[in-house]
Amino acid sequence: MQIISDYSKDTRTKKPVPGSYEWWYFDAIDKNGYSIVVIFYEGNPFSKRYIQALWKGSNERAESFPAVSISVYKDGKPLFYSFEETDPEFADFGSENISGRVGDNSFTSTKDGDLISYTLKLNQSLPNGESISGKFTFSSASGSGISGSNFNQGSADTHIWNLILPKCEVSGRLRINSGKPENISFNGTGYHDHNFGSEPMKESFDEWYWGRYHFNTSTLIYYVMNVNGEWDKKGWLIGDDGTVLKLDSIELKDESLTFFGLSSARKLEFIGTGFEAVLQKDKMIDSGPFYQRFQGKVLAKLNGKLMKADGISEYIKPDRIYSKLFWPLVDMRIKYPGKAHWVQKSSKLYRWTW
């Protein structure tokens, strides 16, 4: 895996090999307990349609399977969820400028000196009649200034992780039209990264842990992969001034088994120079047969000073995506082009899949 922090490379990557994928990830947590995660995909790695095309030996590439997922939570409980894959004519991603669009959802970016700004526009409807609309601004004066030669590392290009905004200010307004409509004024702290894979995800790694937790003046970010039975553990404490403290040790603790038979660590311990921390994944806010998302807390000590933070963690076991046993569940969650799944037409039943 290649790890970089390069704003200029947040544009679309060429993906000539079938099985390649790319996504642009945004998340934010506000002061009133709301959180949002939005992901734009070119080459949806969770798509049954994409997997079937690969199995058939088709030359269809990533651009044939664009998608967008939108998740909104309040106090760790889901308020809205959408995952839609569209036909390619309803999506585009910029190769020269930083931009992306899937359906009526989009992101664009500008840079003025050290100030990086992203604008997200959301306008998504579900087959059950519920919808979400809104506009967000992600902005940071330090996102382009990560320093420290110990951050950029790795040369393999099968998977590239580009950390664009480790910490940024997020503001916006959001309207959720459901059984109980909500108008949300959002002010909080956010994060943005960009991932690219030149082969199916299961070929690059067996398991993948990721998370970000914002302290008052720094952010803890970790990326832990199991590659062919060998753990590749990387973590950093990134200061708001762009300084980088590389963490020397990451330990996975307290594995827990879910209803779907997916086992992952619920506790992580970190050690770096003058730094130690314990992360506890308190709330599982999204659970599936191959994927989990958590909100949690970190208690840490930096040079003798106690700190705490809230944040978001994820876990993926990609080979399970290829198991036909789980495909009926995937069909309920992802809306593919054409006729919607009958579960998606019912507010009550679709919420059960969350």
Distance CA 161, CA 325 (A): 30
Q: Is the pLDDT of residue 354 over 90?
A: no
Are residue 190 and residue 339 in the same domain, yes or no?
Answer: yes
Interval 133-152 mean pLDDT: 73
Q: Is the pLDDT of residue 149 over 60?
A: no
Are residue 243 and residue 99 in the same domain, yes or no?
Answer: no
Radius of gyration (C-alpha) of the chain in whole angstroms: 19
Are residue 158 and residue 113 in the same domain, yes or no?
Answer: yes
Are residue 238 and residue 140 in the same domain, yes or no?
Answer: no
Interval 323-342 mean pLDDT: 92
Are residue 193 and residue 333 in the same domain, yes or no?
Answer: yes
Q: Is the pLDDT of residue 261 over 80?
A: yes
Are residue 175 and residue 236 in the same domain, yes or no?
Answer: no
24 DSSP 8-state letter: E
Q: Write out the residue range of the structural domain in which residue 308 sits.
A: 205-321
Are residue 112 and residue 174 in the same domain, yes or no?
Answer: yes
Q: Which residues face 221 on adjacent strands? A: 212, 236
Q: Residue 106: how many CB atoms within 10 A of its CB?
A: 18
Say what the pLDDT of residue 114 is.
84
User: How far are the Cα atoms of 113, 193, 278, 353 from residue 60, in angstroms, in the given order?
Assistant: 40, 26, 44, 29
Closest Cα partner for 304 from 326, 265, 276, 327?
276
Say what the pLDDT of residue 61 is.
94
Are residue 190 and residue 81 in the same domain, yes or no?
Answer: yes
**3-class SS of residue 6:** coil
Q: Which pLDDT band holds residue 143 (cuts at 50, 70, 90)?
A: very low
Are residue 162 and residue 306 in the same domain, yes or no?
Answer: no
Comparing 14-28, 82-96, 150-164, 201-215, the range with the smallest average pLDDT is 150-164
Q: Which residues face 313 on adjacent strands? A: 211, 294
Domain harbouring 338, CATH code:
2.40.370.10
User: How far are the Cα atoms of 10, 12, 43, 66, 215 from residue 23, in angstroms, in the given order?
Assistant: 10, 9, 8, 10, 26
Q: Is the pLDDT of residue 281 over 60?
A: yes
Mean pLDDT of the chain: 92
88 DSSP 8-state letter: G
Q: How many domains does the chain have?
A: 2
Are residue 112 and residue 166 in the same domain, yes or no?
Answer: yes
Are residue 177 and residue 211 in the same domain, yes or no?
Answer: no
As a residue count, the chain comes to 354
Q: Which two tokens stand for residue 106?
A: 């989009």
Are residue 246 and residue 178 in the same domain, yes or no?
Answer: no
Question: With DSSP H G I counted as helix, E B as strand and the rest as coil, what are the percentages for the chain, rounded to 5?
Answer: 15, 55, 30
Under 8 Å between Cβ of 50 and 36: no
Q: Is the pLDDT of residue 69 over 60?
A: yes
Quick check: pTM over 0.85? yes
Q: Which residue type sits at 204?
A: S
Interval 120-136 mean pLDDT: 96
Q: Which pLDDT band holds residue 147 (cuts at 50, 70, 90)?
A: low
Distance CA 182, CA 123 (A): 15
Q: Which two tokens stand for residue 25?
A: 């990830």
Q: Is the pLDDT of residue 133 over 60?
A: yes
